[in-house]
Amino acid sequence: MKLFYVLISLLLFTACASVTPPYYPPEPGVEYLTASWYGPKFHGRPTASGERFNMHAFTAAHKTLKFGTRLRVTNPDTGKFVVVTVNDRGPFIRGRDLDLSYGAAQKIGFVEKGVGRVRVEYVTRDMRYVRRVPFEPGRVTGPLTVQVGAFTDRFNAFRLKQGLELSFRDVYVTEAVVKGEVFYRVRVGEFEAYDSAYTHAQRLADEGYPTVILTRD
């Protein structure tokens, strides 16, 4: 009888142990993100950083990382990796963290998969993406706003607005007719003091957005 209880105890212990998942310590500087990819629909259109999207280049869109951030992205299914530069905002679908260009997705064997987990490591930042805001307090009077882009294509303007709204409030689009052509101007905020507008513009410029301080109309 004693032997019977010993065997039962061993069986229960083994069963409980098999249910408990193994512990894997996190790797320093590494995280796993849910990625997708984008391509032909946006090829040639301006990205949030102002660059033209090249679906064959090794780039990516992220919700908050500064433009110029370089990431090493590995497909854990294939072991293949690519180093991408963040130059756009997105993805805008809930549950996704990173949008790879078609070229980057193709290099790591991710095109067919479409959506899945990838291993991401921070590499460095290309500081050429940092913008400069000229300080000219005497030339502009309030109320003021910070303009981030102006487009003849309404789609491009509202896509930039969508990207800015991931990190900034009071993002809006106005229309202006210049020499008979309609421009859609993407702007952020309203400021009474130039210093406040400049501080906001500097934050945008540090992320990599082109900025100009203008009178809000």
Within the chain, residue ranges assigned H as helices are: 2-19, 102-107, 154-164, 194-207
Confidence at residue 27, expressed as pLDDT on a 0 to 100 scale: 65
Beta-bridge mates of residue 173: 186
The domain of 196 spans 144-215
Confidence at residue 26, expressed as pLDDT on a 0 to 100 scale: 55
Contact 168, 188 (CB under 8 A): yes
Q: Tell me how far apart the alpha carbons of residues 98 and 102 are, in angstroms, rounded to a whole number.
A: 12
Beta-bridge mates of residue 74: 81, 119
195, 120: one domain = no
- pTM of structure: 0.84
Confidence at residue 14, expressed as pLDDT on a 0 to 100 scale: 41
Say if 62 falls within a structural domain.
yes
149, 120: one domain = no
The alpha-carbon radius of gyration of the chain (Å, integer) is 24
Q: Which residues of 42-53 are buried (b: 16+ CB within 10 A; e: fewer)?
A: beeebbbbbbeb
Tens digit of each residue's pLDDT, the chain (217 residues) = 444 444 444 434 344 434 444 333 456 678 999 999 999 999 999 999 999 999 999 999 999 999 999 999 999 999 999 999 999 999 999 999 999 999 999 999 999 999 999 999 999 999 999 999 988 877 777 799 999 999 999 999 999 999 999 999 999 999 999 999 999 999 999 999 999 999 999 999 999 999 999 999 8
Confidence at residue 139, expressed as pLDDT on a 0 to 100 scale: 75
- Is 197 exposed, middle or buried, given 0-12, 13-18 or 19+ CB atoms closer than 10 A? buried
Say if 16 falls within a structural domain.
no
**In this structure, what are the phi and psi dihedrals at residue 173, rounded to the nearest 5 degrees?**
-120, 130
- Is 3 exposed, middle or buried, given 0-12, 13-18 or 19+ CB atoms closer than 10 A? exposed
Give the other-Cβ count within 10 Å of 83's Cβ: 14
106, 172: one domain = no
Name the domain count of the chain. 2
Beta-bridge mates of residue 186: 149, 173
35, 124: one domain = yes
Domain boundary among 96, 129, 162: 129
Structure tokens at 25: 């310590």
Say if 164 falls within a structural domain.
yes
Confidence at residue 20, expressed as pLDDT on a 0 to 100 scale: 46
Q: Which of 92, 119, 112 is nearest to 34 (CA)?
A: 119
Domain boundary among 105, 129, 153: 129
Q: Which of 83, 25, 88, 18 is nearest to 52 (CA)?
A: 88
